[in-house]
Structure 1
Amino acid sequence: MTDLSGALQEPWPDLRLQREAVGLGMWFFLASEVLFFAALFCSYAIYRSFNAEAFRIAAAHTKIVYGSINMVLLLTSSLTMTVALRAATIQLRRLTLLSLGATAALGVAFLVTKGLEYYADINENLVPGPGFPLKPAATAIFWGLYWIMTGVHALHLTAGIGVVIAVMTLFWRGTIPVQGSTMEGVAIYWHFVDTVWIFLYPLIYLAGRS
């Protein structure tokens, strides 16, 4: 069995307590993130309840092809992250690195696709403000929420990609062992970001196509 003492950090007396502390800290962090996104989802639900037809019209102008591609990319990245976590658990260094690399690459592909979608949206002036083409006026509320919710999600994904690359680099250099609590925290965060998109997708892309 590989010596895992290199993963132990002060002030923890053993790896078990350190792992439990990291896990608890991650869950508290995710709880705050859940509350943040819950506020956005509640805002969407409230505004839509008063402007159902306007939201239907506005959502029909979203780019469902881009949204669907990104859904596939993130679901696939969840699979590769799961493989990475399992590989790290049984100390398969090469498979862990390859799976983390694939996860980061899929995340970057998501951001590129989202960038292309944003470019198309901007070209159609689908940004609330002067020149916004849709009627009634409440359609601008949907698009305001669209930019906020997808933008915040993209920022969270960008942070996730950065963490994945950082952990992959530490594993590759041997700074930390392949098996450890750090990998578990990264996986939890990544799956959280993926789950947020699973909820965003029907609200944004399917609302105007039912």
Structure 2
Amino acid sequence: MTKRTSAKYKIDRRMGENIWGRAKSPVNRRDYGPGQHGQRRKTKLSDFGIQLRAKQKLKGYYGDLTEKQFRRIYGEAERIKGDTGENLVGLLERRLDAVIYRAKFVPTIFAARQFVNHGHITVNGQRVNIPSYRVKEGDVVAVRDKSKQLAIVLEAVGLAERDVPDYLEVDHSKLTASFTRTPSLADVPYAVQMEPNLVVEFYAKN
């Protein structure tokens, strides 16, 4: 299991954006960074800084992945034919924890990772407890029967702040989700603008 080294709210404040679109994000109240010097960090970013921030924002969005994990996914995206930035987003969206979050079976991406780790999810009828497991087109992801009445699931299904994207076919009465296709950047319902092209530029230069 990846160790999350910073609180999810600090990620929002570090980026200066409400990256998950949550009503309780502290950025809604104060748009400066965390810590005693947060209000003074308003200097204009260099090209490197802009590219680094784009990488940190995308990496943070998917549960604050470690640099090693994220770099490995980027390497795979590079090897796939086509646009590397689009491929990167497609691979990230195929992570099992991302699918669970998108399907609204849990309220946050961090909860999704824990939910999968604790064995609450099946893929095509088989229990899978690896958050980074890569879902394929046509796979059916489901909440296990014994987990369907958990408070976290009931809360998430009722959330109004997020919609299920059209590359998932979700039945909330059965708590199942079918992954119909790998999405492009334009298909993914990010709450803020993500710029995977800047991530590509970052890794090309560093």
Provide TM-score, normalisation by structure 2. Answer: 0.29
More strand by share: 2
Q: Which has the higher contact order (CA 8 A, sep 6+)?
A: 1
